[in-house]
């Protein structure tokens, strides 16, 4: 949520106006927050040539004037004389000629701690936060949620490297899953053993790259997805073992001349019916 607006040379409403326009077409959570903070964003202003700079911000032409909104790193790349801020949160600087910055602070999602506890109950051994936000904010949020490892100030490429490191060091027989929703998360979702996209706010790129897509942004659905997947795989393994076991037994009996016709029919149709009935138990998960 927007916590503070610090204009420079223009008023606060105009600063929000510019930021919302630059972020008009982005699905990044920060962009959505800025648009929500300026409810009159859909006016007659002309927005064109929008370009997202991964992990840094967005630049666009607003009424024929280039406006850049993003991190201090992006400001430096365009030569803007940005000003620091003491507020905790993500600082979104706005520049055509520097006009100020907006403080966007993360709010802990209701039920997040309980959702993470459910993940641990389902066997998740380690929880890692990978974020492009500043270290102080990330540590505060991570500490409040009991995250095991918090890594901040990461660009998309840094997230990929972090996940590759986790994959390389994971214990035998374990899986690294990555949960994300933004376009910047797409490479990491594709690289992880299992990529999980949050579908409600997820970008098309993230959804396309993921192995699992959750149809809303509820963290509790992650533990539920793990439980459903394990139960489904267990039932599939039961069916495989049952079908192969019965058919092998019938083959042995047939080789000994002890397999009547009804047993052959059971080995084909009967096994299929029982396997389908067993599989239907997934509907009750």
What integer pLDDT is reported at residue 78 of this predicted model?
77
Pick the residue with more confidence: 79 or 154?
154
Where is average pLDDT lowest: 68-72, 87-91, 275-279? 87-91
Query: Considering the chain, what percentage of its residues have pLDDT values greater than 70?
Result: 95
What is the tens place of the pLDDT at every residue in 206-230? 888 889 998 887 888 999 999 999 9
Mean of the pLDDT values across residues 243-250?
93
Kindly state the tokens that stand for 224: 């539920």
Kindly state the tokens that stand for 64: 């024929």
Task: For residue 50, give every residue at least 6 positions away whose Cβ sits within 8 Å of its Cβ, in sequence order, or none.
Answer: 22, 24, 25, 26, 58, 59, 60
* Phi/psi of residue 268, nearest 5 degrees: -100, -70
Q: Which of 191, 196, 199, 186 is nearest to 156 (CA)?
A: 186
- Measuring CA to CA, how many Å separate 90 from each of 83, 106, 129, 156, 249? 14, 8, 16, 16, 65
Alpha-carbon distance of 27 to 17, in angstroms, equals 17
What is the tens place of the pLDDT at every residue in 141-162? 898 899 999 999 888 889 999 9
Is 203 a residue whose pLDDT tops 90? no
How would residue 66 be classed by pLDDT, with cut points 50, 70 and 90?
Answer: confident
């Amino acid at each position: 949520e927007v916590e503070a607006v610090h204009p420079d040379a223009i008023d606060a409403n105009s600063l929000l106006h510019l930021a919302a326009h630059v972020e008009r077409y982005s699905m990044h959570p920060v962009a959505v927050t800025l648009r929500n903070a300026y409810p009159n964003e859909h006016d007659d202003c002309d927005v064109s040539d929008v370009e997202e700079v991964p992990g840094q911000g967005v630049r666009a032409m607003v009424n024929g004037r280039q406006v850049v909104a993003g991190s201090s790193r992006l400001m430096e790349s365009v030569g803007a004389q940005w000003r620091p801020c003491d507020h905790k949160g993500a600082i979104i600087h706005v520049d055509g000629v520097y006009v100020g910055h907006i403080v966007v602070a993360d709010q802990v999602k209701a039920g997040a701690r309980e959702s993470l506890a459910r993940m641990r109950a389902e066997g998740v051994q380690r929880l890692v936060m990978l974020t492009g936000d500043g270290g102080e904010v990330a540590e505060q949020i991570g500490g409040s949620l009991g995250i095991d490892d918090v890594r901040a100030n990461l660009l998309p490429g840094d997230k990929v490297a972090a996940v590759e490191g986790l994959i390389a060091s994971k214990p035998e027989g374990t899986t690294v899953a990555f949960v994300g929703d933004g376009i910047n998360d797409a490479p990491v979702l594709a690289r992880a053993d299992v990529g999980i996209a949050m579908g409600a706010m997820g970008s098309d790129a993230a959804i396309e790259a993921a192995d699992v897509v959750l149809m809303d942004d509820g963290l509790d659905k992650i533990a539920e997805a793990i439980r459903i997947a394990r139960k489904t795989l267990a039932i599939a393994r039961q069916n495989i073992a049952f079908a192969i076991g019965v058919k092998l037994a019938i083959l042995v009996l047939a080789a000994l001349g002890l397999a009547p016709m009804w047993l052959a029919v059971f080995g084909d149709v009967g096994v299929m019916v029982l396997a389908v009935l067993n599989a239907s138990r997934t509907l009750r998960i």
